[in-house]
Amino acid sequence: MKKSTLTTLALAGALVFGGAASSQAQDSGALLDALVRKKVLTSQEAEDVRADLIKESAATNAGKLQLSNSITSLKLYGDVRLRYQYDNKDPQIETPLAGSNYLFSTNDNSTLSALTTANSNKSPWATDAKGFVIATGDVKNAAGKVVYHKGDRLLASNGDPIKGQINPATTGVGAPANGAQRNRERIRLRLAADFQLAGGFFGGVQLQTTQAADSGNQSFGDSSTGAAGFGNYNIYISRAYVGWNANDWLTLVGGKQPNPFYTTDLVWDADINPDGFVEKVDLIKLFGGNGSEVVSYSQDGKQLSSVSTIRSESAYELSLVAGQFVFNDNAEDSFGSGFKTDAWLFNTQLVGSVKVTPGVKVTLAPGYMTYTSGNTTDLNNETAFMTTKSGATVLTNYQYSAVSKNGVLVPVAATRDLSIITAPGDVSFKLCGLKAKVLWDFAYNTQGAQRVEEVYGLQNIQVPVKNASGVVTGYQSAKGTVKPTTRISTTRVSGHESQDDIAWLAGIQLGENKKAGDWSVMANFRQTGLGSVDPNLNDSDFALGQLNMQGVKTGLAYNFTDFCVGAVTYYSAWNLRDDLIGGQATGGQKIASMNGVQILQLDLNVKF
């Protein structure tokens, strides 16, 4: 009776002190051992209690989960984000270029685009005083037959006269003549697992909606992804990596992994998980100090990571982070030099920080990134810059090649002429009891001129000439000023300016979002020169990833619960230069074709 009572008490004690049997059975061993040592229980009684606890644990749902013996810890987590996004785009269209096409903002573009001009140096169309489109000369159809004479009103297919505005066009007929608005309701799902293995090994996997490297957003009903009509979504592997803590100062990581660098979204979109290899060296520990582990960085908190900031209690930190990433694997037996070469990104960064006072910490992270010169195809980034369209293997025209200054056609590699010095940093401190941070970023492409002229093909730039009222009265080229409606023959002038090589960002953050009731605000201003950063890596939200932009990003976030955060983010961007014409800037892949972009995002993010 006595033994039975003691056993019951021990079992109760194990449950109380060890927690619920379902999760804590294994942890009760120390308590049972202590009870045996104090002779409260015999070894056999302790063993009976232990067996009961394990049995109870095994009967629970949690107890039925089986993990590999090699796993020493496993963390499962994720988030679901609902987003409403409003975009307002003001595309740049003042772009007369060599060619026979003009842009027509009319009620019947299809009729016009089927016709050719009779005058190679002048638009065949004009708008009369009543708003009708009339021919300024003879207009032929594709067969060469004159279908309109000078002064004739242009007729739609139903015979009605067409009204509208005539503008010079980009090389791509059909570009919008006015701003474009878009509303989207979107969702992003991320499921992640981080695991620790014996022997210092670790790793992680993450699944998420959408394939784009720089966005996990899946728009509701998006027909382009098969989601229209309540179609289901695809799921993609966004992380799969393993690492090894070789010792207390060296960590090696391989695979598709969280961005290991201290950075902002000026250079790296926080959604991107690069593929390749990373080495992290804690220089303080290497040389015998008491350094800290550098795991991964994200200044804006977009990264879904259980460890996303520098972790340290020491006053000084100094780490070297080096990454070798495969940006685009090309088949070595392909045609063209750019297609024979893999596009590798090499990035190295020195991360140093010091606690100036107990509440003030300064972090500096100078770095250098460069690519091997390779072509890129089939990118899924929201604003992708590629060398070729999907499947194209022949260099056909200037959109896919560049003419060097001596007039020789050379293949363009999308990752060519990017040799970028970066220098992000921040000062974190307390303000009115809240965490605060002043942060900045800087990027300078030492090969910006070549990038702008040869890769983006801006030799053919024509600078708009405006009067005092800001009205474009003509275009300046090497041949002199010409009128807006006059097409200019190909004349090569340099389109590069020194500001194209630089990108910078400065901003503030106040507050943090960790538990219910927490709030934070942030604001930053940035300029992103045309040749300063890689358009495939920079933030896809600011100016929709466009280059040659400047503007502000502001945001407010509030924790409704510990796990549910509501956020409002607003971006407003406008041209850094307004004289970019042609090449890949406003033509081709249009990486800098916007006069202005405004974006509003309303988010509800639930973490689990």
Partner 1 sequence: MKKTLALAVTVALSTTFAGADQLVIKGSDTLGAKLVPQLAEAYKAENPNTQFNIAAEGSSTGFAALIDQTANIGMASRRAKPTEISAALAKGLDLRPTIVAWDGIAVIVNGSNPIPALTKKQVEQIFTGDIKDWSAVGGAPGKISIYTRNTASGTYADFKELAMSKRDYAGSSQKMAGNEQIVSEVAKNPAGIGYVGLAYLKASGIKVLAVDGKKPDQADVRNKSYPYSRPTFYYTNGSPAGETKAFVDFTLSPRGQKIVEQVGFVPVQ
| Contact set with partner 1 (CB under 8 A) | 25-26, 33, 43-44, 47-48, 50-51, 54-55, 57-59, 63-64, 66, 70, 72, 198-199
Q: Compute the least distance from the CB of residue 603 to partner 1, in Å.
A: 41
- Helix intervals (H) in 171-308: 283-286
Q: Compute the least distance from the CB of residue 54 to partner 1, in Å.
A: 5
Q: Compute the least distance from the CB of residue 202 to partner 1, in Å.
A: 14
Q: Compute the least distance from the CB of residue 36 to partner 1, in Å.
A: 9
Beta strands 425-431; 519-528: pairing state:
unpaired
CA 81, CA 407: separation in Å to the nearest integer?
51
Residues 6+ apart with CB under 8 A from 478: 491, 492, 493
Q: Compute the least distance from the CB of residue 70 to partner 1, in Å.
A: 8
CA 320, CA 398: separation in Å to the nearest integer?
41
Q: Which is nearer to partner 1, 1 or 432 (CB)?
A: 1
Q: Which is nearer to partner 1, 63 or 78 (CB)?
A: 63
CA 315, CA 84: separation in Å to the nearest integer?
42
User: Rg of the chain's alpha carbons, rounded to an integer?
Assistant: 31
Q: Which is nearer to partner 1, 51 or 237 (CB)?
A: 51
Query: 460, 407 in Cβ contact below 8 A?
Result: no
209: number of CA atoms within 13 Å, CB side?
20
DSSP 144: S
Q: Which is nearer to partner 1, 30 or 237 (CB)?
A: 30
Q: Compute the least distance from the CB of residue 246 to partner 1, in Å.
A: 12
Q: Compute the least distance from the CB of residue 255 to partner 1, in Å.
A: 21
Q: Which is nearer to partner 1, 71 or 356 (CB)?
A: 71
Q: Which is nearer to partner 1, 107 or 247 (CB)?
A: 247
CA 247, CA 61: separation in Å to the nearest integer?
37
CA 463, CA 458: separation in Å to the nearest integer?
11
Q: Which is nearer to partner 1, 202 or 542 (CB)?
A: 202
Q: Which is nearer to partner 1, 44 or 119 (CB)?
A: 44
Nearest to 359 by CA among 433, 262, 284, 425: 433
Q: Compute the least distance from the CB of residue 74 to partner 1, in Å.
A: 15
Q: Which is nearer to partner 1, 57 or 387 (CB)?
A: 57
- Cα dihedral sign, 399-402-403-405: positive
Nearest to 239 by CA among 260, 264, 224, 268: 260
Query: 473, 465 in Cβ contact below 8 A?
Result: yes
CA 533, CA 95: separation in Å to the nearest integer?
24
Q: Which is nearer to partner 1, 16 or 198 (CB)?
A: 198
Q: Compute the least distance from the CB of residue 244 to partner 1, in Å.
A: 13
CB-CB neighbours of 176 under 10 Å: 12
Q: Which is nearer to partner 1, 77 or 201 (CB)?
A: 201
Task: Enumerate the β-bridge partners of residue 240.
Answer: 205, 256
- Residue 112 main-chain phi, psi, to 5 deg: -70, -40
583: left (phi over 0), alpha (psi -120 to 50) or beta: left
Query: 177, 163 in Cβ contact below 8 A?
Result: no
Q: Which is nearer to partner 1, 199 or 407 (CB)?
A: 199
Q: Compute the least distance from the CB of residue 288 to partner 1, in Å.
A: 21
Q: Compute the least distance from the CB of residue 59 to partner 1, in Å.
A: 6
Q: Compute the least distance from the CB of residue 293 to partner 1, in Å.
A: 20
CA 56, CA 194: separation in Å to the nearest integer?
28
CB-CB neighbours of 494 under 10 Å: 13
DSSP 118: S
Residue type, 498: S
Q: Compute the least distance from the CB of residue 327 to partner 1, in Å.
A: 35
Residue type, 475: Y
Q: Which is nearer to partner 1, 68 or 157 (CB)?
A: 68
Residues 6+ apart with CB under 8 A from 581: 94, 95, 96, 97, 458, 460, 461, 462, 463, 464, 475, 495
Q: What spatial distance separates the first Cα and last Cα of the chain, rounded to whole Å?
A: 47
Q: Which is nearer to partner 1, 23 or 105 (CB)?
A: 23
CA 302, CA 494: separation in Å to the nearest integer?
39
Q: Compute the least distance from the CB of residue 40 to partner 1, in Å.
A: 16
